[in-house]
Structure 1
Amino acid sequence: MKVQTLEELYRAKFHLIFRYLLKVGCSREDAEDIIQNTFYKAIENMIHLEVENPSAWLFKVATHNYYDLCRKQKRHPQVKVHDEFLENFLAHADEGERFVINQENKAEIHAVINQLKPSQANLLLLKYEMDLSYEQIGNLLNMKIDTVRVTLYRARNQFKKKWSGKSNERL
């Protein structure tokens, strides 16, 4: 594995982590603070930091900092769904799913995603909103590619299950 300096990691991962934090509902200022604190912790612990995947470590610390901030503010993290999410999600969907999920259901999709476990919502966000590959998600979360595929498959199925329950409520 290539050894990266903290400066190289910062350049490579700042925008990715920043975009992710904004997509999960973090304000611009809070996202900047979280990233600053994350890299401060990395510098502070650099001597003792022996991690195989520093990118995943940074992502995990930033995510935990965001969840801590939400807890302090007594609010639940809310994933923001944008048009890119819908386009990418639909691009990977079956024909039957295309019929069910469309542009008119944006608010309902947002509500269903926020009913999922945070780990499932985050995976869907990374894949369909940020358009990351399985390999990129695996590197970011320090997961094997097969694990990413299986977990993402389960997250999609959970979404479909909750979506169908919501569809039955409307009838």
Structure 2
Amino acid sequence: MDKAWEQYLLEEAHIVFKYLLKIGATKEDAEDVVQEAIIKTIECLSQVQTGKLRAWLFKVALHRYYTLYNKNKKSVYLGDEEMQKFQSSLNIEELLLIEEQNEKLREALQGLSPTYQQLLMMKYFMELSYKEMAAILDVSENHIRTYLQRARKTLKKQWEDL
């Protein structure tokens, strides 16, 4: 494996790592999952199409994470680090309101399918473009737009039902 390819693989793995943290993986779980994904990618290198490395890594990592998640029955949580950044500048009432809204959002998100959760996280927490999301998931941009719209509508309904 040449150095340029190795560097590219590590850059892609770092993106996967950040995504896993955003969807609620602990740092240790994310490290383990990414390491397993890298090993699996290297083992199956002949099966990975040129230009599809990121999609392959994401699929392997997400499959492994969801297997681990379902096995451990962990709750997905969002933005604890982000919340800590804001807590120092807010009063108690504001903090309680934000925490209540975050809990409601968590409940609404958990009521969605893993696919919809994944799309919403990629778009709004990782701030990926439709093109980037399509490349990661190995689907068309139109597919991403359609499913993301459905995910938004479903999330809105879940939110209203709470």
Task: Give the TM interval when normalised to the shorter protein.
Answer: 0.7 to 0.9
Kindly provide the CA deviation profile for residues 78-121 of structure 1, in whole angstroms up to 9, marking residues without a partner as x. 1424697xxxxxxxxxxxxxxxxx95622111110111111101
Higher RCO (C-alpha 8 Å, min separation 6): 2
Higher helix proportion (structure 1 or 2): 2
Alignment correspondent of 1:138: 134
The counterpart of 1:78, out of the listed 53, 76, 79, is 76
Question: 1:101-112 alignment to 2 at 5 Å?
Answer: 103=98, 105-112=101-108
**Quick check: 1:24–1:77 contact (8 Å CA) kept in 2?**
no
Q: How far apart are the structure 2 equivalents of 1:150 and 1:48?
A: 29
Q: How far apart are the structure 1 equivalents of 2:47 and 2:12?
A: 21
Alignment RMSD, CA only? 2.4
Question: Which is worse superposed, 110-119 or 40-49?
Answer: 40-49
Q: How far apart are the structure 2 equivalents of 1:155 and 1:83?
A: 25
Alignment correspondent of 2:20: 21
Question: 1:90-101 alignment to 2 at 5 Å?
Answer: none
Residue-pair matches, total: 145
Alignment correspondent of 1:96: none
The Cα shift of 1:136 comes to: 0.9
Q: Percent identity?
A: 35
**Quick check: 2:48–2:56 contact (8 Å CA) kept in 1?**
no
The Cα shift of 1:11 comes to: 3.0
**Quick check: 1:134–1:148 contact (8 Å CA) kept in 2?**
yes
Alignment correspondent of 2:52: 53
**Quick check: 1:134–1:149 contact (8 Å CA) kept in 2?**
yes
4+ residue runs of structure 1 moved beyond 6 angstroms? none
The Cα shift of 1:42 comes to: 1.1
Q: How far apart are the structure 2 equivalents of 1:81 and 1:119?
A: 19
Alignment correspondent of 1:124: 120
TM-score (norm 2): 0.79
Which ranges of structure 2 fall in alignment gaps of 5 or more residues? Answer: 83-96
Q: Secondary structure at the match of 1:155?
A: helix
Q: Secondary structure at the match of 1:128?
A: helix
Alignment correspondent of 1:165: 161
**Quick check: 1:79–1:110 contact (8 Å CA) kept in 2?**
yes
